[in-house]
Amino acid sequence: MDKILPLQVHVKMADEAVCVGPAPTSKSYLNMDAIMEVIKKTRAQAVHPGYGFLSENKEFARRLELDGITFIGPDTHAIQAMGDKIESKLLAKNAKVNTIPGFDGVVKDADEAVRIAREIGYPVMIKASAGGGGKGMRIAWDDEETREGFRFSSQEAASSFGDDRLLIEKFIDNPRHIEIQVLGDKHGNALWLNERECSIQRRNQKVVEEAPSTFLDPETRRAMGEQAVALAKAVKYSSAGTVEFLVDSKKNFYFLEMNTRLQVEHPVTECITGLDLVQEMIRVAKGYPLRHKQADIPINGWAVECRVYAEDPYKSFGLPSIGKLSQYREPLDVPNVRVDSGIQQGSDISIYYDPMISKLVTYGSNRAEALQRMEEALDNYIIRGVTHNIALLREVIIHPRFVQGDISTKFLPEVYPDGFKGHKLTDLEKRELLATAASLYVSCFVSQQVEVDGTKLNVTSEWNLASPLLPVTVDGTPRTMQCLSRDAAGNISIQFLGTVYKLRILTQLAAELSKYMPEKVEEDTTSILRSPMPGAVVAVSVKPGDMVSEGQEICVIEAMKMQNSLIAAKTGKVKIVHCKAGETVGEGDLLVELE
Amino acid sequence: MAALRLAWRRWAPRTPHLRLCLCRAGSTARSPSVPERIQEKRRAALLGGGQSRIDAQHQRGKLTARERVLLLLDPDSFVEYDMFVEHRCSDFGMEADKNKYPGDSVVTGQGRINGRLAYVFSQDFTVFGGSLSGAHAQKICKIMDQAAMVGAPVIGLNDSGGARIQEGVESLAGYADIFLRNVLCSGVVPQISLIMGPCAGGAVYSPALTDFTFMVKDTSYLFITGPDVVKSVTNEDVTQEQLGGSKTHTAVSGVAHKAFENDIDALLNLRDFFNYLPLSNRDPAPVRECHDPSNRLVPELDTIVPMESTKAYDMLDIIHAIVDEREFFEIMPSYARNIVVGFARMNGRTIGIVGNQPKVASGCLDINSSVKGARFVRFCDAFNIPLITFVDVPGFLPGTAQEYGGIIRHGAKLLFAFAEATVPKITIITRKAYGGAYDVMSSKHLRGDVNYAWPTAEVAVMGAKGAVQIIFRGKGAHAEAEYIDKFANPFPAAIRGFVDDLIQPATTRLRICRDLEVLASKVQANPWKKHANIPL
């Protein structure tokens, strides 16, 4: 608990900062003893738990209560009631909140899981009783998947929450995920602060959120809001909280769970209601009554939030990546942009925490305006040194289905059934890109005329090669591109419309002679298995000499608290195993070789 | 692939090709007129060893000597010399007309690279396997002599099977003539070798004498004796690639300074590299228009050195963040990686960078890194390129391997090179500067012009633990904290004036740019001598 130098953003911003422990969360942000010690030392009167970590931990809230410290959140009773999925469902039922058909109890083993799943009818969702945020959650469409899901979920649940109890419920196919923000005080008052549409998800984790939702009419909104408030009142909820609903295509909604903390996506609610949720939380924690009436809660304009992650969107819509942010600049000069982040140029994105870089929020008087600003903000966001998901975010927000509001939690797999492949350039965009790249290669005149396949284009730019942003005007259309790299051999990579394109600019002579250059042989990747991300090896399921069939699990890598099963790309015999359980591996590290 | 056409006006004024004058002197059956013969010889010269050999060259993934020259130089700037030179060998049937090729097995001349003059020779593998005849050597010597005289770099594109065996000693004499000129030109004009095919036997010594040797991956080899001879002499089984491929020379032997993917890549990179170099030792380091503000702050440097002094970081991150437009041409990136050397620009001006690399072997100095650093420092000093040195060095690497290998002698080279250098020298101590290695790394004592330390700097004889063990013979565990307090910081050096200032890392670029401006007019000379005696 030494004094620390104010090098990180969160430390710099704080008036007083104390180190609670080393990077692994179990030794710091999850270490209640260390945190209690700091509270004592600094004589803090209240604790805001943020989100994640101990924010929904009733034990932590209880310890604070014992020491007379205010927990800025609901009381332990509400945390406990809502934290347990089984109990929360019963409570919701009693409060006349619509709930999903399912099994109200803890599942003992895989056989029982299969029996219950059959009873409810496939598809079913297996999830951790103590879970949240998509961890320990699996969907099963048949008996086999149920068994497999049971095994994975209980492992993940045990490692993420220290509690491997699972439950099973009916899986609502193609639903939307819409949640209601509620705010209660210690005097029995509670409000609903409208909804957030959080349907764009990958692996049950949210990617793009907005408020309000294009799908809700005022009646449905009120019905959901009132049920949410009824539930909040039933547990004497006295803080900001979120009641999550699944909404089917007929606007039937079902209670999913209640998050007894501030949500990551709370800024969109703040944007449209004008309330500062954290401030309200502190007020009600102090014991003040709410200062608003339900009728005071407006919907002003529209807000969209993109979660900017350090992940590779081309691998299952986002596998974590790590690294140092060699260059980093938030697009704060774009109007009506809010960026919530805790990092800066030079920061490390490490394997210890969630790989989120920032929450990028834009707002406008209507949805089109908010989305337009989001495009601009994403184009002007400079992130170098780590792989990021801006390409995916930008594609989502301009996709016709998204623009029309025709979305569900299945959006990504439906729109990109073969995985995300980046932006597909139109002929015009392609010409713009080529003309810009060629002009950049020469980059000596402010305005240049380029002929691409017979079409002449005028390219104008300052060509400031020191700036990571490349604002150009091609035939009158202003575009913000980013030049990520260029080398002497004419290789240029440009980020355009979110996606990175690799181009090679050659003189005519060099282009003609290129045909003589030998093709370099790529290594055959089907017989080797490399780690797709940095993480820890949890289990290795094969040993040298084993026969594996295509698709069989070879090992499990845990990264960012997610377990990822790596499978064989072909049928064959295991030649060498390069890893063992417990080891940490880097992205691209060789794990297993097949013959 | 889309076809692109640009209004291409970047290049310097065009040097016109020699125009051919086509005069027909009647159509009667007379022997060809002189103009016709000129035309015919030129056509033959352009074809080198003939279409089938050109095709074979392409099949190997290699370009012809002429294609390479055209790619290297600005369009229409190549002026060829000695297109009519032929070999003079009359033994073994070489005198036959069919064995004579106008220009013989090398293309020579001068031209422009981004408008700046360069002399170039390009060995033609399609003519007798690029073998070196007396005439071939004479052509090379001619351009080298002129290059030295006018003050312009010499670029050699090597692709040769070796000596022209039919010519015997004349071929050997040719090699020696080139070697002599390599030596005489050394330190006068930059000399660059690009190995683009085989280069074996005596031929290897010409690239070895030049300032920089680059290679093309998979298609170039450098060795004294090929795998066959190795097998017969030492009974060692080795492939060409293992013996003298680009991997071997860029990572193991340190003979080559960098390798490129293929011919086109290599030539385009060579053009880029050329932009960093002055034309001769009478020329200042070139200055290019710079968009990167010279007073740019680099805030991420404030956090780049880890709090724990045992934790590594990447010196390249610091270099990229400080230099213009993040452009750094690293020399020997795969060899002796515990030291980083290469060229970059500050406010448009070429500089040479030397930095210890904490990420590899803690950035210690050992035999290989000392030699790598020393050679680079001497090149910069010879060609008026200011030196920026980033220091994070825990000392010289201990052990029998190093001592038996002569670390004393080799370490002395780096010391020698920094000490004798009279170009502007700016040094930044980022973290450790321990022991003799502190002295060596362009310290104030070796005439460093401006020496800075970051707040994270520790200038001391050694780390606290070792020091306390020696001072107190193991009895003073308590003294470790005292030692750290006293020496593991930049103050002892600063109060003695051994560093000029303790600076906030974010301001490093700004400080260096400002100092280079001031030091541009630096004049410093070493005592008169025939030449110094560096501990080779």
Which phi and psi (to 5°) does residue B190 adopt? Answer: -65, 140
Give residue A173's pLDDT band: very low, low, confident or very high (50, 70, 90).
Answer: confident
Residues 34-93 of B with CB under 8 A from A: 58, 60-63, 67, 70-71, 75
Per the domain annotation, does B28 fall within a domain? no
pLDDT the model gives residue A384? 92
In angstroms, the CA A120 to CA A168 distance is 9
Per the domain annotation, does B17 fall within a domain? no
A300 lies in the same domain as A192: yes
Per the domain annotation, does A110 fall within a domain? yes
The enclosing domain of A541 has a CATH number of 2.40.50.100
Q: Are strands A562-567 and A553-559 parallel, antiparallel or unpaired?
A: antiparallel
Instruction: Suggest the residue from B159, B264, B308 to mutate for an interface test with chain A (most A CBs closer than 10 A).
Output: B264
In angstroms, the CA A338 to CA A422 distance is 25
Per the domain annotation, does B13 fall within a domain? no
Give residue A191's pLDDT band: very low, low, confident or very high (50, 70, 90).
Answer: very high
Among the listed ranges B6-20, B88-102, B305-319, which one has the minimum average pLDDT value? Answer: B6-20
* Interface contact A452-B4, CB threshold 8 A: yes
Q: How many domains, in total, are found in chain A?
A: 4
A367 lies in the same domain as A218: yes
- B415's CB contacts (< 8 A; 6+ apart) are B439, B440, B446
The alpha carbon of residue B513 is apart from the nearest alpha carbon of chain A, in Å, by 16
A320 lies in the same domain as A442: no
The alpha carbon of residue A489 is apart from the nearest alpha carbon of chain B, in Å, by 5
Q: Are B63 and B57 in contact (CB under 8 A)?
A: yes
Distance of CA B446 to the CA centre of its chain: 25
pLDDT the model gives residue B19? 42
B155 lies in the same domain as B304: no
Question: Among residues A454, A487, A515, which one ends one of the domains?
Answer: A515
User: Which of A442, A449, A510 is closest, CB to CB, to B264?
Assistant: A510
Among the listed ranges A124-128, A274-278, B187-191, B298-302, which one has the minimum average pLDDT value? Answer: A124-128
Q: If DSSP states are collapsed to H, E and C, what string results for A404-445?
A: HCCCCCCHHHHHCCCCCCCCCCCHHHHHHHHHHHHHHHHCCC
B230 lies in the same domain as B306: no
For residue B486, pLDDT beyond 50:
yes
A504 lies in the same domain as A586: no
A456 lies in the same domain as A507: yes
* Interface contact B271-A464, CB threshold 8 A: no
Per the domain annotation, does B527 fall within a domain? no
Specify the 3-state DSSP secondary structure of B350: strand
b/e code A285-295 from CB counts within 10 Å (16+ = b)? beeeebeeeee
b/e code B457-466 from CB counts within 10 Å (16+ = b)? bbbbebbbee
* Interface contact A488-B271, CB threshold 8 A: yes
pLDDT the model gives residue B477? 67
Full domain range(s) for residue B230: 43-275
Q: How many domains, in total, are found in chain B?
A: 2
* Interface contact B291-A5, CB threshold 8 A: no
Whole-number average pLDDT of chain A:
88
Per the domain annotation, does A205 fall within a domain? yes
pLDDT, one tens digit per residue, over A103-147 is: 767 788 888 888 888 888 788 888 887 766 667 788 888 888 888
| Residues of chain A neighbouring B263 (CB-CB closer than 8 A) | 513, 516-517
> Hey, is the C-beta of B504 within 8 angstroms of any chain A C-beta?
no
B315 lies in the same domain as B226: no
Within 10 Å of residue B92's Cβ, how many Cβ atoms? 11
pLDDT the model gives residue A560? 58
Per the domain annotation, does A16 fall within a domain? no
pLDDT, one tens digit per residue, over A200-210 is: 998 888 999 99
Element spanning A483, H or E: strand A477-486
B253 lies in the same domain as B384: no
- DSSP notation for B436-457: HHHHHTT-GGGT-SEEEE-TT-
Q: What distances in angstroms separate CA B78 from CA A539, B20, B65, B214, one per listed residue?
A: 63, 15, 13, 22
Specify the 3-state DSSP secondary structure of B393: strand
Give residue A271's pLDDT band: very low, low, confident or very high (50, 70, 90).
Answer: very high
> Hey, is the C-beta of B325 within 8 angstroms of any chain A C-beta?
yes
B403 lies in the same domain as B262: no
Per the domain annotation, does B1 fall within a domain? no
Q: What distances in angstroms separate CA A473 from CA A381, A447, A513, one per listed residue?
A: 19, 9, 32
pLDDT, one tens digit per residue, over A289-345 is: 999 999 999 999 999 999 999 999 998 888 888 888 888 999 999 999 999 999 988
Which phi and psi (to 5°) does residue B339 adopt? Answer: -130, 140
Taken in order A373, A375, A376, A380, the sign of the CA dihedral is positive
Per the domain annotation, does A540 fall within a domain? yes
| Residues of chain A neighbouring B1 (CB-CB closer than 8 A) | 511
Question: Among residues A460, A484, A515, which one ends one of the domains?
Answer: A515
pLDDT the model gives residue A83? 84
In angstroms, the CA B131 to CA B44 distance is 18
For chain B, percent of residues with pLDDT exceeding 70: 94
Q: Please enumerate, as own/partner, the contacts of B438-441 that have beta carbons within 8 Å and a separation of 24 or more.
A: B438/B391, B438/B393, B439/B415, B440/B365, B440/B411, B440/B414, B440/B415, B441/B354, B441/B356, B441/B389, B441/B391, B441/B393
The enclosing domain of A121 has a CATH number of 3.30.1490.20
Per the domain annotation, does A90 fall within a domain? no
- Across the beta sheet with A572-577, the strand order is A528-530, A590-594, A572-577, A547-548
Q: Are strands B501-502 and A469-474 parallel, antiparallel or unpaired?
A: unpaired
For residue B25, pLDDT beyond 60:
no
For chain A, percent of residues with pLDDT exceeding 70: 96
Active site residues of B: 201-202, 436-437
For residue A547, the one-letter residue type is M
A241 lies in the same domain as A280: yes
Per the domain annotation, does B401 fall within a domain? yes
B271 lies in the same domain as B321: no
Specify the 3-state DSSP secondary structure of B521: coil
Which phi and psi (to 5°) does residue A422 adopt? Answer: 95, 175
pLDDT the model gives residue B1? 40
In angstroms, the CA A287 to CA A294 distance is 19
Taken in order B71, B73, B74, B79, the sign of the CA dihedral is negative
Per the domain annotation, does A275 fall within a domain? yes
For residue B11, pLDDT beyond 70:
no
A486 lies in the same domain as A569: no
Per the domain annotation, does A364 fall within a domain? yes
- B97's CB contacts (< 8 A; 6+ apart) are none
A142 lies in the same domain as A239: no
Give B443 or B464, the one with higher predicted confidence: B443
Token pair, residue A76, equals 């332990």
Question: Among residues A170, A187, A211, which one ends one of the domains?
Answer: A170
* Interface contact A434-B4, CB threshold 8 A: yes
Q: What distances in angstroms separate CA B344 from CA A398, A542, B187, B190, B323, one per listed residue?
A: 41, 49, 20, 17, 6
Instruction: Specify the residue for token string 């680059």.
Output: B214
CA dihedral B268, B271, B275, B281 (to 10 degrees): 150
The alpha carbon of residue B321 is apart from the nearest alpha carbon of chain A, in Å, by 8
Per the domain annotation, does B379 fall within a domain? yes
Find, among A95, A317, A510, A207, the residue nearest to B72 by Cα. A510
| Residues of chain B neighbouring A431 (CB-CB closer than 8 A) | 2
Give residue A159's pLDDT band: very low, low, confident or very high (50, 70, 90).
Answer: confident
User: Is cis: bond before A212, omega within 30 of 0?
Assistant: yes
B378 lies in the same domain as B326: yes
Q: Are strands B425-434 and B450-453 parallel, antiparallel or unpaired?
A: parallel
Token pair, residue A407, equals 């979305």
Q: Please enumerate, as own/partner, the contacts of A140-149 that have beta carbons within 8 Å and a separation of 24 or more.
A: A143/A114, A143/A117, A143/A118, A146/A110, A146/A113, A146/A114, A146/A117, A147/A110, A147/A113, A147/A114, A149/A113
Give residue B23's pLDDT band: very low, low, confident or very high (50, 70, 90).
Answer: very low
* Interface contact B10-A442, CB threshold 8 A: yes
pLDDT, one tens digit per residue, over B242-259 is: 999 999 999 999 999 999
For residue A556, pLDDT beyond 90:
no
Find, among A478, A370, B421, A278, the residue nearest to A470 by Cα. A478
User: Which of B268, B307, B325 is closest, CB to CB, to A510?
Assistant: B268
Give residue B300's pLDDT band: very low, low, confident or very high (50, 70, 90).
Answer: confident
What is the ipTM metric for this complex? 0.80
The enclosing domain of B439 has a CATH number of 3.90.226.10
pLDDT the model gives residue B446? 96
* Interface contact B6-A450, CB threshold 8 A: yes
B177 lies in the same domain as B235: yes
B68 lies in the same domain as B144: yes
B239 lies in the same domain as B332: no
User: Which of A345, A488, A516 is closest, CB to CB, to B268?
Assistant: A488
> Hey, is the C-beta of A66 within 8 angstroms of any chain B C-beta?
no
Among the listed ranges A43-52, B150-159, B262-271, B472-481, which one has the minimum average pLDDT value? Answer: B472-481
**Least CA distance to A459: which residue of chain B?**
B6
Full domain range(s) for residue A122: 101-170
Active site residues of A: 257
pLDDT the model gives residue B333? 96
Per the domain annotation, does A71 fall within a domain? no
In angstroms, the CA A61 to CA A74 distance is 9
Token pair, residue A340, equals 């919530």
The enclosing domain of A361 has a CATH number of 3.30.470.20
pLDDT the model gives residue B7? 38
In angstroms, the CA A432 to CA A455 distance is 11
Give A534 or B343, the one with higher predicted confidence: B343
In the predicted model, what is the mean pLDDT of residues A251-265?
A: 91
Per the domain annotation, does B255 fall within a domain? yes
Find, among A204, A254, A200, the residue nearest to A414 by Cα. A200
A408 lies in the same domain as A441: no
pLDDT, one tens digit per residue, over B28-59 is: 556 788 999 999 999 999 999 999 999 999 99
pLDDT the model gives residue A2? 43
A316 lies in the same domain as A388: yes
For chain A, percent of residues with pLDDT exceeding 90: 49
In angstroms, the CA B241 to CA B249 distance is 10
- What is the Cβ-side half-sphere exposure of residue B470, based on CA atoms within 13 angstroms? 8
In the predicted model, what is the mean pLDDT of residues B429-455?
A: 95
Instruction: Suggest the residue from B76, B219, B303 to mutate for an interface test with chain A (most A CBs closer than 10 A).
Output: B303
Q: Exposure of B308 by Cβ count < 10 A (0-12 exposed, 13-18 middle, 19+ buried)?
A: exposed
> Hey, is the C-beta of A9 within 8 angstroms of any chain B C-beta?
no
In angstroms, the CA A486 to CA A480 distance is 17
B254 lies in the same domain as B307: no
B90 lies in the same domain as B58: yes
